[in-house]
Amino acid sequence: MILDVKEAIQKGETTLGIELGSTRIKAVLIGKDNVQIASGSHDWENRYVNNIWTYSIEDIWNGLQNSYQRMANDVKHQYGVTLQKVGAIGFSAMMHGYMVFDQNEELLVPFRTWRNNITEQASKVLTERFQYQIPQRWSIAHLYQAIFNQEEHIPDISYQTTLAGYIHWKLTGEKVLGVGEASGVFPIDLNTKKYNQEMIAQFNELVDSEGLPWKLEDILPRVLVAGERAGVLTEEGARLLDVTGELQPGIPLCPPEGDAGTGMVATNSVAKRTGNVSAGTSVFAMVVLERELSKVYSEIDLVTTPTGNLVAMAHSNNCSSDLNAWVGLFDEFSKAMGMEVNMDKLYGTLYNLALQGDPDGGGLLAYGYLSGEHMTHFEEGRPLFVRSSDSNFNLANFMRVHLFSALGALKIGMDILLKKEEVELDKILGHGGLFKTEGVGQRIMAAALNVPVSVMETAGEGGAWGIALLASYMLNSEENETLEEFLSQKVFAEQEGVTVTPDQKDVEGYEQFMSRYIKGLAIERAAVDHLT
């Protein structure tokens, strides 16, 4: 087996996927059977600089190079060969945000990530103009807000892209995006799988009085769908990715995608009536629709699969960050008491305790808003824990309510889809850190959505594996083979998963918690207004 893999590596019969997530950059190398051969990762954190959530250019390249090198070292350690060629490569990253460059390819302002809730005026104006929901984190909202704010750099813009698009451009010279990633930049025409031309014209008309030296269509990346070739690794790009100089240029790349699209691929939920939920630093649910929604909802984004099918996206900026901070506090306590506790055991113990709590969390209330939360209309966040004097305050309920709260904002959006729009959903597939402790995150999610929640054996592989699969699809798919067919028949045919169906007591308890959660938003508002 090792000899077969070694030969495949030497022949370049592999595909590489690298995803830049919010807290980790991961590189995954897979074989022709689409199973992981090697991996490497790099931890990083965004910075809050001048009221902007950002990552520096140095952070981006150092992290990318480090994750690649660790993957290449893993190849060397396991198989005794140096990685020099790969069949295909794909890059993915957290969606949206704002990266604009001048004609000299210089970044004009620091990268503004999806996490910034600073485009409310632009979001409202564009949503009304297009009659299409434009969330604050979308790239077009950032652009229009910068125009609205009369920012000095606007006339100098030559190119606007996303983080994934930026990496791809620097490594190939190609200014392109996959359609799923592009759908978080600007609305997509579902018939052409390109930007909506009517809305492009509306935007140009909107900013016409500014006298800008560019039109929107001139500065946006071209849009490609899954399976199309998106350029090759240049000699300069190869040196930029692999600082040791071993990796050879000329490797084909698939279209760069967003973490939403790679999450759909990694969970085999690109077909209609399927959905997936990614729960980590943020949480978002993606539901592939059979029809368009009846109206525009500020809580629901419309994006696409990597092949251009319509997807409803309920996105919450906050999920597990505050929950992780509380677990960290318990770790501090353990150390202060002279006990060294394994973090996996600590998470497992605390999470499983939550299943022993009262169905509604014992009357406790929490908000894990580390940052702003568009779903409930908060431009900033203040993590809170609140209880009344007669609440059932114990550790089980404390953990249960923090797990509930991690999904509270998401549920508001999903209730619109499942209750108001009556969207049919056969099951939802979960992935991300919230599902790491077996059975717990699934049961809480099933209670929140009242839908069966499945976790595949490969759920931990995540978006880096997803973008590697998209590279594999481009390289290895047969003529006229759809992405859905490729995934179902060649990737997931023998995959086993665990499905948790909703427990009715849990469902009713979560609904009680949500009633408290919605009423208590006034407390969160007071905290934002008065705690600086």
pLDDT for 134 beyond 70: yes
Report whether 102 contacts 157 (CB < 8 A). yes
What pLDDT sits at residue 315? 87
CA angle at 255 for the pair 274 and 198, rounded to the nearest 5°: 80
Report whether 64 contacts 167 (CB < 8 A). yes
178, amino acid identity: G
Question: How big is the chain by its Cα radius of gyration, in Å?
Answer: 23
Report whether 219 contacts 161 (CB < 8 A). no
Across 375-389, average pLDDT? 94
Structure tokens belonging to residue 352: 């499983």
Q: How far apart (Å, rounded) are the C-alpha atoms in residues 488 and 502?
A: 26
Across 361-373, average pLDDT? 96
pLDDT for 2 beyond 90: no
pLDDT band at 1 (very low <50, low <70, confident <90, very high): low
What pLDDT sits at residue 157? 98
What pLDDT sits at residue 267? 87
Domains present along the chain, CATH in parentheses: 268-317+410-493 (3.30.420.40), 321-406+505-530 (no CATH)
Q: How far apart (Å, rounded) are the C-alpha atoms in residues 29 and 14?
A: 7
Q: How far apart (Å, rounded) are the C-alpha atoms in residues 165 and 7?
A: 32
105, amino acid identity: E
What pLDDT sits at residue 272? 86
Q: How far apart (Å, rounded) are the C-alpha atoms in residues 42 and 27?
A: 9
Say what percent of the chain tops pLDDT 90: 86
Q: Using one digit for the tens of pLDDT, what is the confidence trace for 232-260?
A: 999 999 999 999 999 999 999 999 999 98
Say what percent of the chain tops pLDDT 70: 99
* CA distances, 435 to each of 124, 260, 355, 452, 456 (Å): 35, 17, 14, 14, 10
Closest CA to 20 of 43, 47, 37: 43
pLDDT band at 461 (very low <50, low <70, confident <90, very high): low
Contacts of 159 (CB under 8 A, 6+ apart): 100, 101, 105, 169, 175, 219, 221
What pLDDT sits at residue 458? 65
pLDDT for 282 beyond 90: no
Report whether 226 contacts 255 (CB < 8 A). yes
Q: How far apart (Å, rounded) are the C-alpha atoms in residues 160 and 218?
A: 9
Q: Using one digit for the tens of pLDDT, what is the confidence trace for 152-197?
A: 999 999 999 999 999 999 999 999 999 999 999 999 999 999 999 9
What pLDDT sits at residue 284? 86
Closest CA to 121 of 369, 326, 379, 382: 379
pLDDT for 200 beyond 90: yes
Q: Using one digit for the tens of pLDDT, what is the confidence trace for 5-49?
A: 999 999 999 999 999 998 999 999 999 999 999 999 999 999 999
pLDDT for 436 beyond 90: no
Structure tokens belonging to residue 161: 């892209």
Q: What is the separation of C-alpha 82 from the centre of its chain, rounded to a whole number of angstroms?
A: 32
Across 287-302, average pLDDT? 91
pLDDT for 459 beyond 70: no
Pick the more confident residue, 162 or 494.
Answer: 162
Angle of helix 197-206 versus helix 120-130 axis, rounded to 10: 130
244, amino acid identity: T
pLDDT band at 303 (very low <50, low <70, confident <90, very high): very high
